[in-house]
Structure formats: structure tokens, C-alpha cells
Amino acid sequence: MSASTLIETKSPVGSFTSEAFAAHLASQANSPAWWLDRKRAAYETFASLPLPSRTNESWRFSTLAGLTLDGFTTDVDFIKEQITASEARISALELKAKGGQMGASFFSNIPHGGPLVTPLELASRGVIFTTLSEAVIKHEDLLKAHFMAQPQKLGSEKFAALHTAFVHDGVFLYVPRGVEIPDPIVILHRATGRMAVFPHTLVIAEENAKVTVCESFDSTGSASNFACGANDLYAGPGAQLTYVAAQNWSRDTLSFQFNSTVVRRDARVRSLNLHLGARQARHESLSLLQGTGAFSEMLALTVAEGAQEFDQRTLQIHQAPNTKSDLLYKNALRDQSKTIFSGLIVVDPDAQKTDAYQSNRNLMLSDDAEANSLPGLEIQANDVRCTHGATSSRIDPEQEFYLQSRGIAKPDADELLTFGFFEEVLSRLDNEPLHDALRGLIGTKFQR
Amino acid sequence: MSQLEIKDLHVAIGDKSIVKGFSLTIRSGEVHAIMGPNGTGKSTLAKAVAGHPDYTITSGDVLLNGASILAQEADERARSGLFLAFQYPSEIPGVSIANFLRAAVQARLAEGEELDATAYYKRLYAKMDLLKIDRKFTSRSVNDGFSGGEKKRCEILQMAMLEPKFALMDETDSGLDIDALRIVADGVNALRGGPSAPGILLITHYQRLLDHIVPDHVHVMWDGRIVKSGDKSLALELEAKGYDWVKKEFAAA
């Protein structure tokens, strides 16, 4: 057998052909030239880069055969037909209940129910809550400074470029200096049919601002979707930003999600990503600690089952002294599922007194599941405290027996113990309804 | 009236035979104390009857109201009415007492039947008051960081909530100071007095627990079986003479 027969023959653009891109650009005709130019450049990058290969260290352990780009549609009219107005209305109500006084928004690439409206009281204090498409026109400087502004370092240059090229719309939230928004802002992204979705959320919390953003990603029906989303979080000096995301795409979805978090002096960002859905889901998360006293708390929970694969790659970069990062990723694995955690802490030469923590814990609920852990450190300063670790454990048979001896059947006992395992992460959320909502979502994975 | 019959039970851990022909019948409302030195198989007996998977029953039978329970998993035995109060209760971080007990109560409901949460909490709080357990306890993780006394009170709380037909209480007095012992004993005695009083197998090393929970029958266990039975006075005799007396009398047998 000659070597050439082993060469990857899958199309590197798949459904995202130059014709599809031209059609997408045509749908963005109202956007300014700089935005369209940026999209064109991104498309060039996407089309020119190869699909990840086995030799690429940042894709170690990933199932590359699952990364197919074929068979999806970016046609916005198709979406309009699929997500009916009544469904949009129901979901909007559902969100409103969860979102409290601040409006919630509902996207399937396009926003349902028209443009977003900033409540008057918040608008008067300078809060901007609008769609990405409108922000591109009205807030060019902020967009240029923050939209996909951090270099992709975790392996998905190609897919991040695809996101920029095809991103249709999304949420733009700007919280000015000193403004606190008490209720969480809720954003729902929904895919349907064989749809390719490109959710985007951009949050800018200026000095001493405070805000909580919750995102939910799901699908109608069980069709195969393609999701390629990103969120950019920026916390100015002293800002407090909480970001909670629940990924619950259909079980036949290929999902990519890219996060970048910039944390300035004395700011604090807490993010929690819950991973439940998709066939194969790649999540890349980058935290940049840029000012003294900055703190980034990176949390994630995964319930993997069937043949699901969850691939999480993280980077904590300490660029200033006295900064802190705390990463805790917990995975519960059932059946033949697979998880990959690859994390790196980087401490720049002058980031003395860095306090960095990175921990990946896996609860193996099946002998056939596979958890891969690749923790890493790259320290260039000499006075730092960096701890990392990875563990995999099974259900403790004595705990299981204890629960069973109270009449709780084994599957229920294992469910309780899994929640117990997750509680260390869930309990970091001080918002009780949010905590309960996440527990409820996790519970859906244990329904028998 | 219910009946738990342990018939000529033999139990092994791996290849090691621990319980060697233990027989005892307990009826509702009766309290049987099992006393004996360490290593005679008291705890093994309790765990094997409760269905611990590490303990192999090599021969004999355990019958609950005439039906063998040996084919049942631990959770089925519990739902049939058996309760094991652990000597060393497991610590379960992240699982609150409220959620744990709720799951246990829920497990006893018929398929599709919903737990009445208001009634559940009312009952839970009443039992907690009785056992002098602070209500803040419900949000704490099961046994996690509990003192010895708190763990044992938590065991009795579970027993009170689950209302078993038979309770196997394994060294419930170990690690308790006199005040905690009194609270635990009061809790058990309160159940004894009720209309659905369980049959109790009280495993203990010391006679002092029996001052607070007065047994109907006392059995001495030695080398995996009962070697002597009597009433409360047997416990006092043991206390006076010590276990060496048992050893001398039965080691040769």
C-alpha cells in the first residue's frame, strides 16, 4: 500500500464552499465594508488551512474522522421555515421566565422576534444590549477591539476562521463603568434540520461593572447539526463577570465552541460550561490574566454517554504579577464515551506571585469509557504557585452500598453520587435558581 | 407482626469463613443484643444480612416473613424492610442529607407516585427535633465532616424516617460520649414504643448501651455463632467476668 492512499481525502471546506460563502456575504449586505473584508479574509484562512491531522499535538486523542464539514446548510431562509414563529414565541416566554426583568434573546443564527431591546432603565445608564449585526454598524471600535481579538492558540485556527466567515448574528452586550445588572441575561441558541449555526456572544464589562450571562445551546429534533460558536468575554478593571453556558445540542451534532476571556486589574471572571449534548464536541477556552489582582475561575462539568466525545482544551496565561486562575473540569463518563482534557498554564517572566491551579477529575461510571488527561505547565517566573493534577476514579463501592442499604437502587445511587461529584463545581455558583436549573439539565441525562 | 429468621448462616469474605452457623429469630418489637469480643463476626453478620456484595453467604438462609431475601440486592432488602445502622457510616461529599433521604423515601413509593414534599419535610423536621438535630443539618453533605456522635444520630434519623421492620444496629454506641449515647438511645426507644415497632438486632461490645436500650434477649457470639443466650442479666455477667470468660469456656468447644 503506497503512502498516498493514506492521505486525507475529505474536502477541507465541505458544505462551506465559496458559493455558500458568497450567498452568506450577500445576506450581510447592510454590514460595513471592514466587516465584510474581515469575513473574506477569514474565509481565505479557513479554506486554505487543512483539517487537523494525526501529527497535530493539539488534536491528540481526538477522533479526527468525526470532523466532517459535509452535509450542512447555511441558508437563512431554511432556518426561517424550520423554526416556526410559534416556537420562537414559546421559547421567548420560557426565556423571559428564566431571564427576569432583563430581556432574553433567542437565536437560530438570526434573532427571533426582531431586534433586541435594552430596557429603558439600563439604556439610560449606558448599557447596550443588541445584536451583533447592529453592533457591527454602530459600535465599530468596540467590535474591532474585542470581536475574536485573541489569537487562536489551541488548535482550531481553521474552525475559528470558519466562525468569523459565517457568523450571521449574535449578542452584543456592553456594560459601562460601574453599572451592575442584577438579573442574569439569558441567551438561547437553537439549531434545527441539518443546519450550521454560528452563535456568537460578545460581553464587555467595563471598570467595576457587574453582570451574569447565561447561554443555552440546543436543537429541535434529533437531526445532525453543525455548531461553530464563540464567546468573547472582557472584564475591565475591577469588573465582575459570570458566564454560564449549557451545551445541549442534538446527539448527532458536531460542535465547536471557542472562548476567550480577558481579565484586567482586580477583575474577576467566573465561567462554568456544562457539556451534555452533541456527538463530538470540542471546547477551547483561553483566559488571559492581564492586570495585577486579576482572577479567572474556569469551571466545567460534562456528562458523557453512549459514544459521545468531549474534547476540552484550555490555556491559562498569566501576563501580570499577582494574578490568579483556578480551573476545575469534572467529567462523568458512562457507556463507551470519551473525554479529552488538555490544559496548559503559562506564566510569563514578569508574572511573579502567580497563583494558578488546574484540575481535571474524571468519574468513570463504565469500564468501557475513556478519559484522557494532559495537564501542563510552562513557567517562566521564579516566584509562583502553580498546581495541577488529573485523577480518574470509580464510584466508591462503600458509598454505593451505603445508599443501596437505604433502598436506593444502584442506578439512582450512581446518579446521586455523580451529583455529589459535581457539587464541588455547582456550589461555586451563588445564584440558586441557576444552580437548580443546571442540576435539572444534568438530571435529564439520567432519565431512564 | 413480622419475623426475621436467620438460619444456620455461614458467611465468608473471600476464602475466609467468618460466620459459622448463626441462627436467630427476631420478631417485631423485640430487641436482641449480640455481644462478643472483636473479630467474632458480629459486623460481618450484619453486613451480610443487609446484602453487602463483598460478603458471600456460603450456606444457610435469611427469611423475612417466611420468604428468603438472599437473592435480593441490598436496595431490595432495604425496601423489604431491613435497615443497617452502620458502625462506620460512609461520608458522601456533595450529597445533602435532604436529597439523600428524599431519594430513599422516594424509592419506597410506587412507580409514578410523587413524593409529597411538604409532608416529607414536616416529618423530617419532627424526627430531627426528637433527635436534637439542628435543621441546618439537612443541607450538609451526608456524614461529611460529622463528629462520631453526629454520624450516629444521622443513622438513627434515617432509621426513624424509613421505618424499617427490622434494624441491624452495628456498634451504634462506638465513638459516643454519654450525652450522645443518651440521645441515640432515646431515639431508638421512641421507635420501640411506637405501634410499628421494629425488631432490633443490637450489636455491641459494651454493656453500657444496654443500660439505655434494655434488651429482651442477650446473645453471646463467639467464633461466628451464638454460644450462649439469656436475658439482660447475661450482659451484666459478661461485664463482670469479661470476655476472657467466654474465651475460656468456648475456645475448646
Q: Confidence class of residue A89 from pLDDT cuts 50, 70 and 90? A: low
| Backbone φ and ψ of A18, nearest 5° | -65, -30
Chain A partners within 8 Å of B74 (Cβ) = 401, 404-405
Q: Identify from B95, B108, B144, B154 which residue to disrupt to test chain A contact, counting A C-beta atoms within 10 A and taking the largest count.
A: B95
Closest CA to A248 of A273, A285, A231: A273
A355-364 and A385-394 beta bridge pairing: parallel
Nearest to A405 among B74, B94, B95 (CB): B74
Total length of chain B: 253
Residue A234 grid cell: 472582557
Closest CA to A214 of A241, A234, A239, A184: A184
Closest residue in A to B164 (Cα) is: A406
Residue A106 has pLDDT above 90, yes or no: no
Residue A254 grid cell: 458536531
| B158 interfacial to chain A (CB closer than 8 Å) | yes
Amino acid A433: pLDDT: 84
Residue A8 has pLDDT above 50, yes or no: no
Report yes or no: A398 and A383 within 8 Å, Cβ to Cβ.
Answer: no
> What is the rounded distance in angstroms from the CA atom of residue A78 to the CA atom of residue A72?
11
- Window A:399-428, CB contacts with B under 8 Å: 399, 401-410, 412-413, 416-417, 419-424, 427
Residue A191 has pLDDT above 90, yes or no: no
If you average pLDDT over residues B72-86, what whole number do you get? 97
Residue A98 has pLDDT above 60, yes or no: no
Amino acid A35: pLDDT: 97
pLDDT one-digit tens code per residue, A267-291: 999 999 999 999 999 999 999 999 9
Residue A85 has pLDDT above 60, yes or no: no
Nearest to B74 among A401, A422, A423 (CB): A401
Domain boundaries along the sequence of chain A: 12-290, 397-448
| Torsion angle defined by CA atoms of residues A277, A282, A286 and A287, in that order, rounded to the nearest 10 degrees | 30
Chain B partners within 8 Å of A420 (Cβ) = 92-95, 141
Closest residue in A to B155 (Cα) is: A406
Chain A partners within 8 Å of B54 (Cβ) = 397
Residue A95 has pLDDT above 80, yes or no: no
C-alpha distances out from residue A377 to A59, A194, A313, A384, Å: 18, 40, 14, 12
> What is the rounded distance in angstroms from the CA atom of residue B170 to the CA atom of residue A128?
64
Around Cβ A379, how many Cβ atoms within 10 Å?
A: 16
A406 to B100: CB separation less than 8 angstroms, yes or no: yes
Say if domain B3-250 classifies as CATH 3.40.720.10. Answer: no
B92 to A413: CB separation less than 8 angstroms, yes or no: no
B3-13 and B31-35 beta bridge pairing: unpaired
Chain B partners within 8 Å of A396 (Cβ) = 90
| B115 interfacial to chain A (CB closer than 8 Å) | no
pLDDT one-digit tens code per residue, A337-386: 999 999 999 999 999 999 999 999 999 999 999 999 999 999 999 999 99
Chain A partners within 8 Å of B79 (Cβ) = 407
Residue A139 has pLDDT above 70, yes or no: yes
> What is the rounded distance in angstroms from the CA atom of residue B147 to the CA atom of residue B128?
17
Closest CA to B221 of B237, B236, B204, B208: B204
> What is the rounded distance in angstroms from the CA atom of residue A295 to the CA atom of residue A248?
28
Domain boundaries along the sequence of chain B: 3-250
Estimate to the nearest angstrom the gap between the alpha carbon of A268 and the chain centroid: 18
| B40 interfacial to chain A (CB closer than 8 Å) | no
Amino acid B17: pLDDT: 96
Q: Confidence class of residue A86 from pLDDT cuts 50, 70 and 90? A: low
pLDDT one-digit tens code per residue, B241-253: 888 887 787 765 5
Amino acid A292: pLDDT: 98
Chain B partners within 8 Å of A397 (Cβ) = 53-54
Rounded to a whole number of angstroms, the distance from the CA of A448 to the nearest CA of chain B is: 12
The overall average pLDDT reported for chain A is 90
Amino acid A174: pLDDT: 97
Rounded to a whole number of angstroms, the distance from the CA of B208 to the nearest CA of chain A is: 27
> What is the rounded distance in angstroms from the CA atom of residue A374 to the CA atom of residue A377?
10
Strand, coil or helix: what is A117?
A: coil
